[in-house]
Amino acid sequence: MGYFVIRQDRSKREKLFAQILEGRLRQGWSFTPGLSLRESEDKFAESYAAVGRASEEGRKRFSILKPMRFIVPDDIIVVPNQPDDRRFLIVVAAKNPNPAERYSYDFVDPLPDTNDYRNLIYIDKTRIKTLNFDGLAVPPIMKQKLKSIAYSSAVNVVNNRAFVEAILKCLQVDAKQNQEAAPLKDRISDIRKKTYQAWLEQVRTLTPSDFEKLVEAFMTSSGYHTERRNECDGQGKDVDLLCERTFSLEAPLGAESHTVQYRIQAKKHGGQTDAVAVRQLLGDADRAKEGIIRISVVISAAEDFTDECKQLAGEHDIRLMNGIEFARLYFQFVEGDKLGDQAAMP
């Protein structure tokens, strides 16, 4: 049995959720018929370039989406932030209507009123479970993993044993009793949020370079080392930090490893972060080496991001981390603050 985390475009959340209820889990980057995952990587990249986009970007998208192609019936999929930011779904892959197809993947007509979201996994609509991140019986690791930089790609394969065990436990949880946050968890979360807000007020008084050092300390505490700092291409692209970590995985035919790189744009202001931060991470000037998974993220001390920023980030699979989310993770991983983290972690 396989375990996956699939993140959907928040700008189309309601329409995508309606499809889930009909047994169709859709994913994007499929805005032309040539972008089926049944195609080769070369064909996918050619189709991506045919509509005016970079073929190398297409190869990256293919690499991210490819695990969808091999999901089989009874595999378990977690969908964060559906049907809203407070909850997540656990769904079960179903048989493909085509009896000759053993995989649950299909490439279909686009989502109604769009020209995208053709990549699809058939799911069992009778086995959709909705849970609150702070539900009384929901294992805290679910919130830790799904609200952090872990599993932040559009499609993620889950290999972490503790996370798999938590997913299995969620399958046994009474969904009706875990639609809302547990009262104590809610109170602890409110108290700690005020602590984080006070901390952020002080953080915003730092110089931009000192805030970048704060972000770098956070990445280092998570096992990443810094490859480069403050890389600009003179054409608007600006990467404050490029951090890297290699993971070893146990595989049926022997140990395997893969390397993950984070391209980070750090913003230390308050208020809202606009789309400029996302645009600074776009471009192909620093393409990843073959075999490296690259993730772009904006880490901001601001309370939120503008709607334009969120939409652009969703279109390019760029992760957004606001101030409260960064503060929670910083306190846990850098300061080693364990008291209450299980209840309040994002």
pLDDT per residue over 287-327, tens digit each? 556 668 888 999 999 999 999 999 899 888 899 999 999 99
Shared-domain flag, residues 173 and 198: no
pLDDT for res 262: 92
Reported as a pLDDT band with limits 50, 70 and 90, residue 249 is: low
Task: Give me the CATH number covering residue 338.
Answer: 3.40.1350.10
Instruction: Label the pairing between strands 225-232 and 254-267.
Output: unpaired
Query: Is the pLDDT at 180 greater than 60, yes or no?
Result: yes
Reported as a pLDDT band with limits 50, 70 and 90, residue 256 is: low
Which domain-ending residue is among 132, 149, 178? 178
What is d(CA 332, CA 71) in angstroms, rounded to the nearest whole number? Answer: 34
**Mean predicted confidence (pLDDT) in 258-269:** 91
Shared-domain flag, residues 108 and 57: yes
Shared-domain flag, residues 128 and 7: yes
- Rounded to two decimals, the pTM is 0.70
What is d(CA 23, CA 163) in angstroms, rounded to the nearest whole number? Answer: 25
Which domain-ending residue is among 150, 178, 206? 178
Shared-domain flag, residues 163 and 255: no
Query: Is the pLDDT at 204 greater than 90, yes or no?
Result: yes
Phi and psi of 170, rounded to 5°?
A: -60, -30
Shared-domain flag, residues 97 and 195: no
Shared-domain flag, residues 61 and 156: yes
Shared-domain flag, residues 261 and 320: yes
**Mean predicted confidence (pLDDT) in 332-344:** 58
What are the angstrom distances between the C-alpha of 210 and each of 38, 196, 205, 213, 291?
A: 47, 18, 10, 5, 32
38, 40, 42, 46 alpha-carbon torsion, rounded to 10°: -20
> How many residues appear in the chain?
346
Reported as a pLDDT band with limits 50, 70 and 90, residue 283 is: low
Residues 6+ apart with CB under 8 A from 101: none
**Percentage of residues of the chain with pLDDT beyond 90:** 67
pLDDT for res 46: 95
pLDDT for res 251: 56
Cβ–Cβ contacts within 10 Å for residue 321, how many? 24
Rounded to an integer, what is the distance from CA 108 to the centroid of its chain? 24
pLDDT for res 341: 43
What are the angstrom distances between the C-alpha of 215 and each of 170, 189, 275?
A: 32, 23, 20
Shared-domain flag, residues 259 and 235: yes
Shared-domain flag, residues 203 and 329: yes
Shared-domain flag, residues 103 and 162: yes
75, 146, 241, 61 alpha-carbon torsion, rounded to 10°: 30
CA angle 333, 204, 342 (to 5 degrees): 25
pLDDT for res 149: 78
Hey, which of 55-59, 162-166, 285-289, 313-317 has the most confident mean pLDDT? Answer: 162-166
Name the token pair of 168.
């299995």
Per-residue pLDDT of 64-76, as tens digits, reads 999 999 999 999 9
Pairwise pLDDT comparison (79 vs 253), residue with the higher score: 79
**Which range marks the domain in which residue 212 is found?**
186-344
Shared-domain flag, residues 165 and 247: no
Instruction: Please give the tally of structural domains in the chain.
Output: 2
Pairwise pLDDT comparison (131 vs 51), residue with the higher score: 131
**Mean predicted confidence (pLDDT) in 183-188:** 74
Query: Is the pLDDT at 233 greater than 60, yes or no?
Result: no
Rounded to an integer, what is the distance from CA 138 to the centroid of its chain? 20
Which domain-ending residue is among 178, 206, 232? 178
Shared-domain flag, residues 12 and 112: yes
